[in-house]
Structure 1
Amino acid sequence: MSEITEDKKRSVEQDSPERNVKPRLEKGVAPIKQEYLVIGGVVADYNDDEAESSKHTSGDKESKKEKKRGQNKKRDLRQAHEEIKLCSSVVDPNDKTKECPYGADKCRFSHDIQAYLAAKPADIEGICPVYAAIGYCPSGVKCRWLGSHYNPETGLLLEEEGVEKKEHKGEVNWISAATKSQLQKKKLPMPVSDEVIRFLDSVVIVNDEKNSMTKEERENHEPDEKKLNAASYTESRFRTGEKKRLNLKNAKIVSPLTTVGNLPYRRLMRTLGADVTYSEMALALPLIQGSNSEWALPRAHESEYPGFGVQIATAKHWQACKAAEAIQTLTSHVSELNLNCGCPIDMLYRKGEGSALLDNPSRMLRILKGMSYSSGEIPVTVKIRMGVKDDKPVAENLVRRVLNETDVAAITLHGRSRQQRYTRAADWDYISRVGAVVKDYNEQQEEDKDKVDRPPVYFVGNGDCFTHEDWHRAVSDEGIDSVMVARGALIKPWIFEEVEAQQYLDKSASERLAYLEKYAKFALEHWGSDEYGVNSARRYLCEFISFTHRYIPVGILERLPPKLNERPPPWKGRNELETLLGSSDYKDWIKITEMFLGKAGDGFSFIPKHKSNSYEKQ
């Protein structure tokens, strides 16, 4: 499909009559105009809470009622392999410098290009999106659009004149296989974090000794002078160095997102007005062990920098220190390093990571200090929830300690507890209270002549932001510098355009389809235009559509504003394409991908994350 130019946007005025019409449907159900309702269906069930709840991540047996709800935990997303595997040394017939280290006779992969082409599926029609974007195709003869840039008579690939063939073109923060090998063998020097860890270990030892004593012993105890001297000596050497300055005031921020928050999605969001993006959450231990899959997460597109943050999760200060130094040393395009203290999933919580740190503030503070000491000029930030239990919010007191005992550059608060997950609305009154704490701290710092050069600590709210009204209402609070948007940016990727325009934009179906097309092109540039790359692009585009299909066009709603947690009854769009884009059947999602990625082959499979989408179309 050709690139669709931006159509004229039809804004829906906030004072339109529809805003005052009371919905005819019960609470929690989206108020769709009568003429767009499909009679006889059932209300959609996405259930974000159930998809991430503990009973669906702990292996508990499901009841019959839950059979079609929650998360498909055991979905197999592996794709079929090619019949003939071609050796990488012959993928680009133009490059005569590449040689197979094993030789054609001993190599376990094929060197016969003609045999490979004969067994290869028929080309996808049209011009190769990667070739069109960068002037050559890194996938070579494996490209699914090969006919658009291959001369069968000469056996050579077409390339635009003067094009620079650069590995990982446009992408940054790649590290070499040799460096990963050093990490795996524990041979990469990390002198800063080694010393920081010794200091933090000594602090833990002294604190553990004090905590094991009775009150009387603590009062009469004379601590080990060597340990205390070592701790104070090391502490005097480790001060947070000069950090790059952040500016999150009124910044348009996309939250770190699992699975869908990949590089192509973040790149798309940058084109739609986002100022700050984050990597998917990376685990600190696999990072310092040189895991290929974990080091894929800090990669970014050059358009994301500055304003790209890497988020890590850990429960150990030594892991945090080494991961911070590794990222500081091995990457070049990271604006901040964010500690995840909010993830609610059981896998992390049981290991003391994510939201478990909310109940262990001393450990959290130790990790944040270690990260700040070890991260060089990269500033450290933290993301937290209100608390673990619904009735025991701890964020207000915790933020006071973070401000007074660490050097974080920003704090983000998700206005829910771990127990709450996605049930009930985010508590923005509580977020405002914590924002006031940060505001007071910044004002005190300004009055302190000794700390006049220290930049302010930014405070960011998070939770249920789905409209420009939500965003502007939040930032109008003096204590809240910005809003981090998560599901709102998945369901409605143009949310920051609405924030900028301060009005609802009734995007046409063709405009929305154009965003999916742009995502598909970015995905092919990232994963490649060969069979593997096309299948990866298709899979992640389906994951993206599993959120975008939930968008209800504002033009068919009885009243505004739309609410993030309202579920629609069955509805039809104003045209066939709008109806298709709103389908909750994953087989329709695959049909949409075929508009840009060609027909899905027999080897492609996709099982949706949410069981409510796994049904046969009637």
Structure 2
Amino acid sequence: MTVSNSKRPDEGDEVPDSKRQHAEAKPESDTRSNGIAPIKPEFIVEKQNIKVDEYNDDEAEMGDRHGGDSSKENTGSKKKKRGQNKKRDLKQEHEETRLCASLIDPDSPRECKFGSKGCRFTHDIDEYLKAKPDDIEGTCPVFAAIGYCPVGLKCRWLHSHFDVETKKLVKDLEKMNKAEKENYEVNKIPGDVKYKLQKKTYEFTQSSLVIPYIDSLVQNEDNLERKREEAKEAAATFTEQPYKIAEKKRLNLSRAKIVSPLTTVGNLPYRRLMKTLGADVTYSEMALSVPLIQGTNAEWALPKAHVSEYPGFGVQIASSKHWAAAKAAEAIYKEGSHVSEVNLNCGCPIDLLYRQGQGSALMEQPARLVRILKAMNASSGDLPVTVKIRTGSKDNKNTAKTLVDRLLKENDIAAVTLHGRSRQQRYTKEADWSYIGEVGSVVKQWNEEKQEDKDRSDLPDTFFIGNGDVFTHEDWYNAVNTPGIDSVMVARGALIKPWIFEEVEAQQYLDKSASERLDMLGKFASFALEHWGSDEYGVGLARRFMCEFLSFTHRYIPVGILERLPPKINQRPPIWKGRNELETLLGSSDYKDWVKITEMFLGKTGSNFHFTPKHKSNAYEATS
């Protein structure tokens, strides 16, 4: 396979003319559909019989982990959406012969609490090494990055850091010391804290005072007088949060390069990659508040971040109850050492959350939303609270402007992000940036009035962030140059084209070569192995999430083969071939080709690996 040796221009260097792409005006005589990408004729595969499935991009916001069912709309229609694979089996299998964790480092074996006879894993190192799959060629990426391999004998690249004669693991102390200072993960919840959450013995010192007060604000129409008395009593015992709004951490989101919270694909390795490509702000995958305060392992894996993400790392939660949101916010504040903000998701359209009163359902219950935000603000310590919403629940019935006006008057919100689509609309139409601008003007006016109010002038301004269909630097600058819009949150645009913020910085299109794009995928693979481990199970997870990533990156059409610019995020291409074999491979919609790409970094796929694409691969037959 021929791979181009083109190198990305160094920061500050002049970008070669061959890398520059400038937008051309669309000819008035061009009658081609806006839904078809304008690829140059010489790159289109002739005589094709194409069947193009629809993308289910709601999965970028939700995902399989919470069991989201997007096969039905809220209207009750039973018509299934096309282009999806239902009930994907995403579990990765372990090795047939598994080594006890107490023996993964033969230099410092630990005592197995079950004993060699009671343990269900083998204690015979020679037996394990004999049964272990053949090593993957090359150097262990984890060892190369941090100077040792945490999975020890279980590593699939064991030969690169194991002395066969002494039967000892090799360790690079210099790299280990450097990694300890510069390359580590944060926001890891201690086991004893998780145990207290699970056993309901964790002390929620602040939210325990906040919750009764918020409870008292829920008026009961059958007995308003009694409720008013309860409210007075609760207010008398309520203790103000230790941090007033003016004392909370200050955000700086003005013209910040922001990656949207993305479930499944927005994992730690992906976010770490985006930080290397110019992102300023990243968010965790959406965590559910109740499982968080119950100490669920899967939920507490989500606030984990790489140290490079902070400052500028936000934890997003979903909740339908103020008591759960308050406790989750307090736990994140206490246990998250590297968190910049707590974000409330009020935009997720998936039916499962909607039926539970979470996500976009909160937009239909403004009073409940106000109470949740109040509870979070009072319980989150010095962490500012932000919120992400949609234009409304129903198409052609925007409610965000009225809602934002109320939220600003009744809460102290550090930032509001508006996705320019309704819940019902999903991704069927383009985002409404005209309406986003209207809502931005409401926030702008509020900030101006606040500065004139002596009682509130010390409070920080509320940032307003737009979101939806930003795929080019032109889209980004058109948004941030609109009065009232402070910055843009990029979602699918950063999945399909991860270097979008480099283009924003350069203020031009960058025609990345196939080898440059492959290097990015290689960096993701290394980050994934550092995060999930370089043993058989970790390699399987890294491969699976790399395939999930490729399910978006394959949709990128190189600007160098387009007839005109700008490209559109929702345009579907005819079957095309790249300028070399690698570029063609990177553009393949066949998930089997995605697996081939992972093998370049993660070794040959074993029989234990399973992957079903979220979107059914495009099927076509090329006839001669």
The TM-score normalised by the length of structure 1 is 0.92
**Residue 422 of structure 1: how far off its partner (Å):** 0.3
Unaligned ranges ≥5, structure 2? 10-14, 63-67
| Cα deviation 1:429-449 (Å, max 9, x = unaligned) | 100000000000000111112
For 1:509 and 1:82, how far apart are their aligned partners in 2?
34
Given the alignment, which residue of 108, 128, 131 partners 2:120?
A: 108
CA distance in 2, matches of 1:79, 1:3: 34
1:203 and 2:217 correspond: yes
**Aligned CA distance change for structure 1 residues 474 and 337 (closer, same or farther; 3 Å):** same
TM-superposed CA distance for 1:21, in Å, is: 8.7
CA-atom RMSD, angstroms? 2.6
Question: Does 1:56 find its partner at 2:71?
Answer: yes
Residue 488 of structure 1 deviates from its aligned partner by 0.2
Asked if the contact 1:387/1:393 (under 8 Å) is kept, the reply is yes
Partner of 2:45: 38
User: Pairwise mapping of residues 130-209 of structure 1 onto structure 2 (< 5 A)?
Assistant: 130-162=142-174, 163-164=176-177, 170-204=184-218, 207-209=219-221
Query: CA–CA distance in 1 between the matches of 2:94 and 2:582?
Result: 33
C-alpha deviation, 1:250, in angstroms: 0.2
Q: CA deviation at 1:203?
A: 1.5
Distance in structure 2 (CA, Å) of the matches to 1:614 and 1:72: 14
Q: Is the 8 A contact 1:466 1:488 kept in 2?
A: yes
The range that moved more, 484-493 or 158-167, is 158-167
**Partner residue of 1:128?**
140
Match status 1:117 vs 2:129? yes
CA gap 1:561/1:399 in 2 versus in 1, 3 angstroms: same
Q: Distance in 2 between matches of 1:434 and 1:183?
A: 39
Query: Would the alpha carbon gap of residues 147 and 62 (structure 1) be closer, same or farther in structure 2, given more than 3 Å must change?
Result: farther
Q: Please list the CA deviations of residues 55-110 of structure 1 after superposition, one character each: whole Å capped at 9, or x if unmatched.
A: 615899987xx69x2321211011222111111110011224x2212222322211
Query: Structure 2 CA distance, aligned partners of 1:365 and 1:266?
Result: 30
Structure 1: which 5+ runs fail to align? 214-220
Equivalent pair of 1:29/1:43 in contact (CA under 8 Å): no
Q: Deviations over 1:212-238 (max 9, x none)?
A: 47xxxxxxx755663132243256735
Give the conservation status (yes or no) of the 8 Å contact 1:3–1:514: no
Contact 1:311 1:337 (C-alpha < 8 Å) held by counterparts: yes
CA distance in 2, matches of 1:456, 1:41: 55
Tell me if structure 2 keeps the 8 A contact 1:12–1:554: no
Partner Cα distance (2:153, 2:488) in 1: 46
- The residue that corresponds to 2:307 in the other structure is 302
Which residue matches 1:87? 100
Shift in Å, 1:516: 0.3
Identity, % of aligned positions: 62
Whole-angstrom distance in 2 between the partners of 1:107 and 1:405: 58
| 1:218 alignment counterpart | none
**Superimposed CA distance per residue, residues 486-530 of structure 1 (whole angstroms, 9 cap, x where no aligned partner):** 000000000000001000000000000000000000000000000
Indicate the residue corresponding to 2:472 in structure 1.
Answer: 467
> Helix, strand or coil for the counterpart of 2:417?
strand
How many residue pairs are counted as aligned between the two chains?
602
Q: Deviations over 1:167-186 (max 9, x none)?
A: 99610000122211110110
Provide the residue aligned with 2:505 in structure 1: 500
The answer to whether the Cα contact below 8 Å between 2:318 and 2:345 also exists between their aligned partners in 1 is yes
Task: Report the CA distance between 1:301 and its aligned residue.
Answer: 0.2
Encode CA deviations 1:243-280: one digit per residue, 9 max, x unaligned. 10000000000000010000000000000000000000
The answer to whether 1:516 aligns with 2:531 is: no
1:534 maps to which of 536, 539, 544: 539
CA–CA distance in 2 between the matches of 1:564 and 1:307?
A: 26
Q: Partner of 2:12 in structure 1?
A: none
| Partner secondary structure for residue 343 of structure 2 | strand
Question: Would you say the 8 A contact 1:30–1:566 is kept in 2?
Answer: yes
Alignment counterpart, residue 371 of structure 1, candidates 376, 381, 406: 376
SS at 1:490 equivalent: helix
**1:185-264 equivalent positions in 2, closer than 5 A:** 185-204=199-218, 207-209=219-221, 212=222, 226-234=229-237, 237-238=240-241, 240-241=244-245, 242-264=247-269
3-state SS of paired residue (2:469):
coil
Paired with 2:620 and 2:192, the residues of 1 have a C-alpha distance of 46
> Which sits farther off after the overlay, 1-10 or 531-540?
1-10
After TM superposition, list the pairs within 5 Å mapping 1:309-324 onto structure 2.
Answer: 309-324=314-329
Distance, in Å, in 2 between the alignment partners of 1:529 and 1:334 is 28
Partner of 1:217: none
Using the TM superposition, give the Cα deviation of residue 197 of structure 1 relative to its aligned residue in structure 2, in angstroms: 0.5
Aligned residues of 1:22 and 1:558 also touching (Cα < 8 A): no
For residues 225 and 609 of structure 2, what CA distance do their matches in structure 1 show? 68
TM-score (norm 2): 0.92
Paired AA for residue 56 in structure 1: S
Kindly indicate whether the alpha-carbon contact (under 8 Å) linking 2:392 and 2:423 is maintained by their aligned counterparts in 1: yes
Residue of structure 1 equivalent to 2:65: none
Q: Does 1:14 align with 2:22?
A: yes
Aligned to 1:99: 111
Worse-superposed segment, 54-63 or 283-292: 54-63
CA distance in structure 1 between the aligned counterparts of 2:58 and 2:148, rounded to whole angstroms: 45
Kept in 1, the 8 Å contact 2:51–2:620? The answer is: no
Deviation at 1:31, TM superposition (A): 0.6
Q: Deviations over 1:322-344 (max 9, x none)?
A: 00111111110000000000000
Structure 2 equivalent of residue 608 of structure 1: 613
- Take 1:50 and 1:408, find their aligned partners in 2: how far apart are those partners? 26
